[in-house]
Amino acid sequence: TITANMDEFVNPMPPPLKDGAGFMDTMRHQMAVAKHQAELMQKKKLQAAEQQRKQQQAASTAAAVAKAKATTGVDSAEAASAMNSLFNDMDDGNVPMVKLGDASIAAPFTCKSKKMTAICDIVRLGRCTLVTTLQMYKILALNCLVSAYTIAVLFTDGVKFGQTQMIVSGLVIAVCFLFLSRSKPLEKLAPQRPINRVFHPYTLTSIFAQFGVHLYSLASTLALVQAEDPDAMAAQRGEDEEDFRPTLLNSILFLMTTMMSVTTFAVNYQGHPFMTSLKENRPMALCLAGLALLVVVCSLEVDQELNETFELVPFPSDEMRNSFFQLLVIDVVGAYAAEHISKLLLGRLP
């Protein structure tokens, strides 16, 4: 289209000068002739470039048609027509018009079915993604609040965790996040709607209520150790800059914070009616069950060698061990109650 319109911009060849023309007329004539020759040369260059572009376009069209036919089975004539239409739109110098179906190419959920049930499928996938995102926000918020209290408050008491402890708990929690993001929607579309924003009264109430339960458990655990061995607590406060060494306070708080992480995942997993339940998400359920079982076994001191492997100090008395196990149960039950009461009162949408 550019070369076709070049004739409009090429000035015609000026007529020959008459005899006796003046100096200025001669100069104007020579400038006009030079301008005409330059425009002709520019036209030839544009024509050559246009011809080369058309050859490249034809080659790319043929390659795209062959690829489309090989991958999708689309007829070559239809593919060629679509490609030529796209190139024609670009040749006009305008922005290509958006056609029906173009938005589906960039959509997060696309269904190739021609039936109306595709609408339900897209809604199911969207709801599952929304619920998964919101529950991940809740879990991250609770983990950050517990970590902030552990770092800001408990660190002043000399609390530190061992390398083996952090590696095991960190790996299992990372795997749980992986399986949490791989949740699948249910086959049947639920009649109720999910919570659609983070700052919903139910979400905020549930987060702060669960954190209140966790805060009570941590404070009670700290008071339990303080009552059992206050001298060791006072000595450990002056060891902030030293390396980790197994102590009763470090051991008991590691078990408590690990169980809190398990509880946070298990309690805040939404499940039905928008996504598969925790029982159906077997990889995540097995990871949480294995980590919870490890905490219970170490808390009850079933295998002393296992406790030594995780750098845990034995409880000084059976009474303290039973009291700590009761705190674990209180934390799990309290977090579960806080979540479900918040959902019952504030989490129902019409």
Q: What is the pLDDT of residue 3?
A: 46
Please give the C-alpha separations between residue 8 and each of 22, 34, 40, 130, 300, in angstroms, as whole numbers.
30, 18, 12, 59, 94
Helix (H), strand (E) at residue 312: none
> Does residue 201 surpass a pLDDT of 80?
yes
What value does the mean pLDDT take over residues 221-226?
87
Token representation of residue 26: 């001669």
18-32, 156-170, 203-217, 245-259: the lowest-pLDDT one = 18-32
Of the candidates 301, 212, 291, which has an alpha carbon nearest to the alpha carbon of residue 258?
291
25-34, 177-186, 187-196, 304-313: the lowest-pLDDT one = 25-34
Q: What is the pLDDT of residue 4?
A: 47
Please give the Cα distance from 222 to 228 (Å, whole number).
10
Q: Which residues contact 27 (CB under 8 A, 6 or more apart)?
A: none
29-33, 76-80, 243-247, 312-316: the lowest-pLDDT one = 76-80
Phi, psi at 175, each rounded to 5°: -65, -35
Please give the Cα distance from 223 to 228 (Å, whole number).
9
Max mean pLDDT among 62-71, 114-123, 144-153 falls in 144-153
pLDDT category at 315 given cuts 50, 70, 90 is: confident
Q: What is the pLDDT of residue 110?
A: 65
Please give the Cα distance from 312 to 164 (Å, whole number).
11
> Does residue 22 surpass a pLDDT of 80?
no
Tell me the average pLDDT of the chain.
Answer: 79
Please give the Cα distance from 130 to 196 (Å, whole number).
7
Reported as a single tens digit per residue, the pLDDT across 75-91 is: 555 555 555 555 555 55
Is residue 214 a contact partner of residue 220, using CB atoms and an 8 Å limit?
A: no
Reported as a single tens digit per residue, the pLDDT across 36-59 is: 777 788 888 888 888 888 888 777
What value does the mean pLDDT take over residues 109-120?
73
Please give the C-alpha separations between residue 270 and each of 127, 143, 167, 180, 192, in angstroms, as whole numbers.
12, 17, 27, 10, 14
Of the candidates 147, 110, 104, which has an alpha carbon nearest to the alpha carbon of residue 125?
110
Q: What is the pLDDT of residue 334?
A: 95
Q: What is the pLDDT of residue 1?
A: 44
CA 324, distance to chain mean position in Å, is: 37
Is residue 198 a contact partner of residue 335, using CB atoms and an 8 Å limit?
A: no
Reported as a single tens digit per residue, the pLDDT across 160-200 is: 777 888 888 888 888 888 888 888 888 888 888 888 888 88
DSSP 273: T
Please give the Cα distance from 183 to 272 (Å, whole number).
11
Q: What is the pLDDT of residue 187?
A: 83
Q: How far apart are the two ends of the chain, measured CA to CA in Å?
A: 59
> Does residue 245 surpass a pLDDT of 80?
no
What value does the mean pLDDT take over residues 20-24?
69
> Does residue 226 surpass a pLDDT of 50?
yes
10-19, 158-167, 192-201, 308-317: the lowest-pLDDT one = 10-19
Q: What is the pLDDT of residue 108?
A: 62
- Which has more confidence, 109 or 235? 235
